[in-house]
Structure 1
Amino acid sequence: MLEKFKSFLSIGPVFSYFFRVFRKDTDGKYPHSFNLKMMHGINKISILMFLVCLVIMVVRCATR
């Protein structure tokens, strides 16, 4: 039961996606299509915007 719960809360695949979306797929392990490329492009933009906003919030909080 505890192992099932630990595997349910595992965030390893999420972090591996964040790093995978920013590098080229050279081994052909994942499918290639126009829709998938656009989705990854939009995800890159949203991840970068989130990180920029996070930095802005931390700076604002630290300077108060």
Structure 2
Amino acid sequence: MPEHTPAVRRCPDCDGFPVVAIGIGGRDRHGHLRTAAVHCPACHGTGTVTTRPVLARAGR
């Protein structure tokens, strides 16, 4: 029987791909490309965002 898994909201800025490798140019002495891992600033590298509670407006 399948289990119910909660829906996860993807980060709208990175669309679920929170870490990318950016080439910084050149090669090291072994011939490998030099890269830097960069994290999404909106989700801090998790790929998901938390849902904000909705404020209910009640009144007359």
The answer to whether the superposition gives a TM-score over 0.5 is no
TM-score, normalised via structure 1 length: 0.25
Structure in which a larger fraction of residues adopt strand? 2
Structure in which a larger fraction of residues adopt helix? 1
